[in-house]
Amino acid sequence: MARRAGVSRATVSRVVNGSTSVAESIRDAVRQAVEEMGYVPNLAARSLVTQRTDSIALILPESATRVFSDDQFFPRIVRGVSQELEAADKQLVLIMAGSTASYDRVERYTTGRHVDGVMFASMHGVDPLPSTLARLGIPVVCSGRPLGRTNPSVPYVDVDSVQGAADAVRHLINTGRQRIATIAGPQDMVAGVDRLTGYRNELRDSSRRSIVAVGDFTRESGAQAMRQLLLDDPHLDAVFAASDLMAHGALRTLREAGRRVPDDVAVVGFDDVEIAQYTDPPLTTVRQPIVQIGREMARQLLRQASGEDVEDALILPTELILRDSA
């Protein structure tokens, strides 16, 4: 290409790598040579020199079955992340790790510096990998506060799930509900823990007792948990579900049991994914900005990769969306 363009190899390299210090006429000659010869940069060779891959990993510690189910959390997170990375000309590497063996493989891959940074979403339990990567100098951002840590070693983006759950329960109290149950999320996930905390805090302030069943954020677990709640307290008149899918399952169980919503039992969910608008009746829910969470995670990671300081915790607000179920 240098011979065809009549310039030095160094000049071709500068033009191909986007330098603006080369005269426009020379850049045009190099671009023409690139086009005529069909040249494509060898990214593997370039990464050996720059020590950068221009790839960012998003790790979902879930099975492919779960990620590609009807849970709209995952596609919304991916949408937000990919929007920011595409604008920055970075490649997204989506990694699912739903088993111990697959997670071990992910750890080897990420600590081997095959990517320039790593994002985690849908984390379970106390996971040491984010801190391990951070100690190696690899930029890391988590979706949700790392469980079990009040001062995490890696930045995270989250919503105020405690406040969101409290807002949901307060709405049920203000509408006159007395026996308010909850279908809590899994207690090895910070979202499940925080939403149960918000529920209990609000009931404690109103001198009402807790009525709790635990699901795993899926529709079927919500249906099963609702059956258990009706056995535990047949006279309950409201339920706060920690996800819209669990609320949808609860609505099905209530219908099968002959309970009218909201006349007999009011139902509130959490997320405000698309299904909330189309349940019967439409679901009152707590909206969390899932796409924005993904975008903010990517922004925080790109700032880290550029050597900028980022906030330890970025907390986004929730909003109670009133519909017909409560």
- pTM for this prediction: 0.81
Q: What is the pLDDT of residue 47?
A: 47
Q: Kindly state whether residues 75 and 192 are assigned to the same domain.
A: no
Q: Alpha helices, DSSP H only, in 54-115?
A: 64-67, 73-87, 100-111
CATH number of the domain where residue 31 is located: 1.10.260.40
Using the predicted structure, report yes or no on whether residue 48 has a pLDDT greater than 50.
no
In this prediction, residues 259-283 reach a mean pLDDT of: 96
Q: Kindly state whether residues 281 and 215 are assigned to the same domain.
A: yes
Q: Kindly state whether residues 283 and 251 are assigned to the same domain.
A: yes
Tokens of 13: 């390299």
Q: Kindly state whether residues 140 and 256 are assigned to the same domain.
A: no
Token pair 């739903």: residue? 98
Report CA-CA distances (Å) from 166 to 182, 199, 248: 12, 5, 20
In this prediction, residues 266-293 reach a mean pLDDT of: 96
Chain mean pLDDT for the chain: 89
148 vs 235: which has the higher pLDDT: 235
pLDDT band at 51 (very low <50, low <70, confident <90, very high): low
pLDDT band at 40 (very low <50, low <70, confident <90, very high): low
Using the predicted structure, report yes or no on whether residue 165 has a pLDDT greater than 90.
yes
88 domain residue, yes or no = yes
In this prediction, residues 219-248 reach a mean pLDDT of: 97
Domain tally for the chain? 3
pLDDT band at 20 (very low <50, low <70, confident <90, very high): low
Using the predicted structure, report yes or no on whether residue 21 has a pLDDT greater than 80.
no
Q: Could you give the CA distance from residue 129 to residue 281 in angstroms, rounded to a whole number?
A: 42
Q: Kindly state whether residues 88 and 181 are assigned to the same domain.
A: no
322 domain residue, yes or no = no
pLDDT in tens, 96-113: 887 878 888 888 888 888
Q: What is the pLDDT of residue 16?
A: 72
Share of the chain above pLDDT 90, in %: 62
Q: Could you give the CA distance from residue 319 to residue 286 in angstroms, rounded to a whole number?
A: 6
- Determine the structural domain holding residue 152 and report its residue range: 55-159+290-315
